[in-house]
Structure 1
Amino acid sequence: MSGTAGTSPATVPPAGPVTPVPFGQFIIKVHGRCNLACRYCYLYEGPDSTWRDRPGPASDAVLDRAAARIAEHTATHRHQEISLVLHGGEPLLAGAGRLAALAGLVRARVPGPCTVRTTLQTNATLLTDARAATLAGQGIRVGISLDGGLAAHNTRRTDHAGRPAWPAAARGARLLAARHPEAYAGILTVVDPDTDPVEVYESLLALRPPAVDLLLPHGNWTTPPPGLPVGAAPTEAGPAAAARRPTPYGDWLCAVFDRWWQAGRRETRVRLFEECLALLLGLPAATESLGLDPVNAIVVETDGSIEQVDSLKSAYDTAAATGLDVFRHSFDEALRHPGVAARQAGAAALAPTCRACPLLTVCGGGHYAHRYRAGHGFVNPSVYCADLERLIRHIAARLADAVTGDGP
């Protein structure tokens, strides 16, 4: 079965009821279109087509109602801090002033004790000094999406006329680092195993990011990412099978980890590595890619629809849909959606192979979207199972060397 509206029986946790974890991250789609046409974009080039029937910019009514729903949820659950993410498409198409106004509106609506930490995720091509100043003035931090720090790394990031995005994106990143470092959140880069990992990492360092997020491309067992076997089945996952599968993504990440580790972790933060280290040490960590912490993010689309996170759209059409919207439904109602419950069920929602794995508490089954297999839902190991084992065991070995005095 392909599933509809994210409610396939395969998405429902196999165990008993789960106590919902209130949402703490609210992703608002302020604009549903993008000024770029990246050839690998899972959102606009993938199986989900729901964006085509939605308005480009979110209306004032949608943004006002979203802010009210966020305040309602925050008050109900007595949050001390929440995350507001301004997203798209390309959110700067909505205008920096409108983004700043939305951030101010949410801050004004939530109860006084609650801190709102606001981030904008952008391709940086529309960043100017004036826009960056407007965002910084409202305490909005800016995350930039790039494929690397050189023009050669970004050849697939073009506008709708086929023109390269790199010159404008690089200018925006350098402007932010030089003129508004307090608003610079960091760079998000998707791993490409065909690139030189150390070259990509060092090229990003030249853009002076305070943090780097390294993400695995959204693939699954039905549509595997480049370099992984086509037609493989989840039964070919797990520790016993890992040695028989190629690990191009794990190898790439291990090379970057060693470069980062040997530099004493001083050059920049790398979230994936820091959180893997924390989980290996038994400390709490929050990431969609590792660990068993429940996902607490929810999305408001430009038409006011309440959806699960965008990564699910890489699985099948309408995979992120809930049938809810901010005009008629609260976020507490979204917490009861079976797709949300499945993502908060921890180990209970994982495949037997994962629950029996010695790396369970660190890997956590990997990213939820990467477990999908048509006809079988999401109760499968990650398509990156072997790559994740390669990375986790590598980091564990480096950590052990450091503890015994054999490492840097």
Structure 2
Amino acid sequence: MQLLLAALPESFRTFVLKVHSRCDLACDHCYVYESADQSWRGRPLTMSAEVARAVAYRIDEHAAAHGLSSVNVVLHGGEPLLCGPAHLRALLAILSGMSVRANLSVQTNGVRLDEAFLDLFDEFGVRVGVSMDGGRDAHDRHRRTRAGQGSYDRVRAAVRELAARRGGFAGLLCTVDLRNDPVEVYEELISHRPPAVDFLLPHGNWATPPPGRVPGLAGTPYADWLIAVFDRWYGAAERETAVRIFDAILALLLGRRSGTEGIGPEPAAVVVVESDGSIEQSDALKSAYHGAPRTGLDVARDPFDAVFAVPGAAVRLPPPSDCRACPHLRVCGGGHVAHRYRAGGFDHPSVYCPDLYRLIEHIGGRVAGDLARLRA
């Protein structure tokens, strides 16, 4: 128990800024707008320059207090590009003026990503991640406009332009849908030459299970899907891209750290600032219940260190008590905190527990087999 507690983070290294609180798509799997927490309805559309200056001050304050030489700052939403180039430029100018070095990035649905934005991001050294769920059918099943039109063609064109610039391409984020062929999805994504692919498990929990995941049953549909991708990725003649969930599991199996939220025994050192300056926990917690990410703190008056003192703060939660005898705890960590929720709290294994167990077993088995052959 002492070992587990010692691993909990003492500082934040990633700051997610909700620079725009609305979106130009109506994705039915969106955890911000379609989940239990609906606090976005009462927030201003955009983060003001005044709030951004308070954020910059608090990040510098936090970095100085903890001796951090650099931090990660992610522009998020909603859809951050709805701010428009002029307002984003003003925010980026403020964030680029901090004393601590900031690794700036933006996560976008790609619909509005054009040369004006790409030039702006090149100017400020902002790396760009784009959400893309595979080919046209896979992508447009969920990522549609409010008029019901697909967004694939616009996103593909944007990703191609982004990939041509290469240096600012952070990668692609894909939400897993069991109805899509996993290898087809993977090969569509790598056709755009991303430096990294992030496969996101749909944010569900014991109270609201993700599609195809029946709590209490031993089936492993998400592991089966990801294993098909892993075998294609791992068996390639050369490394085609980084896949964060696989790289995290491999690192943990080899005794290193994860660096990926939701994998590993250490809670991710991530904090969110909403468009009104509210300081919140990981916004994936929006899938649990209304108000789950709330801390009651605000950048205008509170330091980021105050999050650690919030009762029940997710970033201070150790792995679930039921997981502590599991042989894969040091890799799984109990799964993403948001996926552990059921009435009464978060001290439960992930709703994806059987999937995570099988995925780790499979990856560990492939690596162990390769190591045994090397020794022979």
Could you tell me the TM-score, scaled by structure 1's length? 0.87
Q: Report Cα offsets for 1:131-167 as digits up to 9, x if no partner.
A: 1111111100000011113344322211122221111
Q: Could you tell me how far apart the structure 1 residues matched to 2:205 and 2:133 are?
A: 21
SS at match of 1:203: helix
| Correspondence 1:393 to 2:366 | no
What SS is found at the alignment partner of 2:312? helix
TM-superposed deviation, 1:103? 3.0
Count of residues in correspondence between the two structures:
373
- The CA deviation at 1:338 is 2.3
Is 1:109 aligned to residue 109 of structure 2? no
1:225 aligns to 2:216 (yes or no): no
Q: Tell me, what secondary structure is at the counterpart of 1:66? A: helix
User: What residue is the counterpart of 2:340 in the other structure?
Assistant: 371
Q: Is the 8 Å Cα contact of residues 205 and 341 (structure 2) preserved in structure 1?
A: yes
**Is 1:402 aligned to 2:370, yes or no?**
yes
Q: What secondary structure sits across from 2:170 in the alignment?
A: strand
Higher mean alpha-carbon deviation, 160-169 vs 25-34, is at: 160-169
**Closer, same or farther: CA 188–222 of 1 in aligned 2, 3 Å:** same
**Contact 2:7–2:266 (CA under 8 A) maintained in structure 1:** no
CA displacement 1:98-144 (0-9 Å, x = unmatched):
3343233223222xxx3211110000000111211111111000000
Structure 1 residue corresponding to 2:293, chosen from 320, 323, 336: 320
Distance 1:28 1:370 in 2: 22
8 A Cα contact 2:21 2:78, kept in partner: yes
Q: Which has the higher contact order (CA 8 A, sep 6+)?
A: 1
Query: d(CA) in 2 for partners of 1:296 and 1:34?
Result: 26
Identical positions, percent: 50
Amino acid at match of 1:279: L
In the superposition, the TM-score normalised over structure 2's length comes to 0.95
Please tell me whether the aligned partners of residues 74 and 105 of structure 2 are also in contact (alpha carbons under 8 angstroms): yes
4+ residue segments displaced more than 6 Å: 15-19
> Which of 325, 330, 352 is 1:361 aligned to?
330
Deviation at 1:27, TM superposition (A): 0.7
Cα gap change, 1:253/1:136 in structure 2, threshold over 3 Å: closer, same or farther? same
Once residues 82 and 18 of structure 2 are traced to their aligned partners in structure 1, the CA distance between those partners, rounded to angstroms, is 11
Match of 1:254 in 2: 227
Structure 2 equivalent of residue 281 of structure 1: 254
Match of 1:160 in 2: 146
Q: Which residue of 1 aligns with 2:303?
A: 330
Task: Pick one of 52, 55, 60 that aligns with 1:66.
Answer: 55
- The equivalent of 2:352 in structure 1 is 384
Structure 2 residue identity aligned to 1:201:
Y
Shift of 1:357: 0.4
| Contact 2:29–2:202 under 8 Å retained in 1 | no
28, 49, 54: which one pairs with 2:17? 28
Structure 1: where are the runs of 5+ without partners? Answer: 1-12, 237-243
Alignment of 1:81-230 (within 5 A): 81-110=70-99, 114-178=100-164, 180-229=165-214
Alpha-carbon separation, structure 1, partners of 2:44 and 2:329: 41
Give the partner amino acid of 1:385: C
Q: Structure 1: which amino acid aligns with 2:159?
A: A
Letter in 2 for 1:116: A
State the partner residue of 1:6: none
Aligned to 1:309: 282
Q: Deviations along 1:172-202, whole A, 9 cap, x unmatched?
A: 1111012x21110000001111111000000
Distance 1:151 1:167 in 2: 11
How far apart are the structure 1 equivalents of 2:303 and 2:24? 32
Amino acid at match of 2:328: L
The Cα RMSD (Å) is 2.0
3-state SS of paired residue (1:142): strand
Deviation, 1:290, is 1.0
Secondary structure in 2 matching 1:42: coil
Per the alignment, in what secondary structure is the counterpart of residue 26 of structure 2?
coil
Residue aligning to 2:239: 266
Structure 2 residue 45 is the aligned partner of structure 1 residue 56: yes
Q: Does 1:297 align with 2:286?
A: no
Task: Give, in whole Å, the separation in 2 of the partners of 1:20 and 1:382.
Answer: 20
Q: Quote how far apart the aligned CAs of 1:59 are.
A: 1.5
Counterparts of 1:226 and 1:214 in 2: how far apart (Å)? 16
Change in CA separation of 1:96 and 1:265 when aligned onto 2, cut-off 3 Å: farther
1:139 maps to amino acid: G
- Any idea what the Cα deviations from partners look like across 1:206-264, whole Å, max 9, x if unmatched? 111110001110010011011121xx4xxx4xxxxxxx511000000000000000104
